[in-house]
Amino acid sequence: MKRFIILTIAFTMVFLSILLFYEPKSPIHTASRYEAMFAPRTLYWGVQGQDVRIVQDKLLRWGFYDGEVDGVYGPRTYRAVRKFQAKHGLQVDGVVGPATARALGMPEAVAAAANTGINRQTDEYLLARCVHGEARGEPYVGKVAVAAVILNRVKHPSFPNTIAGVIYQPLAFTAVADGQINLTPNKDSIKAARDALNGWDPTYGCLYYWNPATATSKWIWSRKVMLKIGKHWFGI
């Protein structure tokens, strides 16, 4: 009995010592973990980092860029990339994808993404950001539908063949124009992007969507409406 009491006291002291001296690590926010996991190789408006500095430095030395080499992919970098692409016969989308990266002489780590279509490692988080900016107030299936429209455009010959190219195509998405694409996506937006990438297309191939209560483009009303999900109409 005495031995049991001694062991109990010893165990209690060890446990209290752990509680007293243990310093838990700071929790990692879910979005930050996703940003690290899906760190972009394709460079586009809104991205920051050393690879952006490399692009800016090259474009500055070659006369395409007149801004600060600060590692922030903003409007000046976007315009400079478009000028470079036009000069070198590349697809002019303002996105540093594999072909543009190779033309810039970027390191292989940046230029190694797939030549066409979708790269899961680099694109899932960007897609989630766009879904969140465009459809965070929509039902879950509506979020997946918005992601599916973006992916349908990637596969269509009339649009850029990368997710970044589609999303950052001029005047294509309100969330890009008003900066909401830079908001941190929630779990539903991330899951919706993943479901769309896994093949779920609630729109059955639609290329456009709009909110009839807020749409200002006269052209969008020429699209054939195929279905309605939440506040959005989807068409071809």
Q: Where are the domains of the chain?
A: 39-111, 120-235
The position carrying tokens 């310093």 is 23
- Tokens representing 106 are 């970027």
Facing residues of 209 across strands? 234
- Alpha carbons 83 and 73: distance in angstroms, whole number: 15
Distant-in-sequence, close-in-space partners of 12: CB < 8 Å, separation ≥ 6: none
Phi, psi of 223 (to 5 degrees): -75, 145
Give the predicted TM-score (pTM) of the model: 0.57
User: What would be the CATH architecture of the domain defined by 120-235?
Assistant: Orthogonal Bundle (1.10)
What's the angle, vertex CA 51, arms to CA 107 and CA 169, rounded to 5? 105
pLDDT of residue 46: 81
Q: Which of 103, 54, 59, 105 is nearest to 80 (CA)?
A: 59
User: What would be the CATH architecture of the domain defined by 39-111?
Assistant: Orthogonal Bundle (1.10)
Q: Distance from first CA to last CA of the chain, Å, rounded?
A: 81
Phi, psi of 116 (to 5 degrees): -135, 165
Condensed to tens digits (0 to 9), the pLDDT of residues 76-133 reads 999 999 999 998 898 998 999 888 988 888 754 444 443 445 566 668 999 999 999 9
What's the angle, vertex CA 114, arms to CA 108 and CA 119, rounded to 5? 115
Give the residue, 13 or 178, on which the prediction is more confident.
178
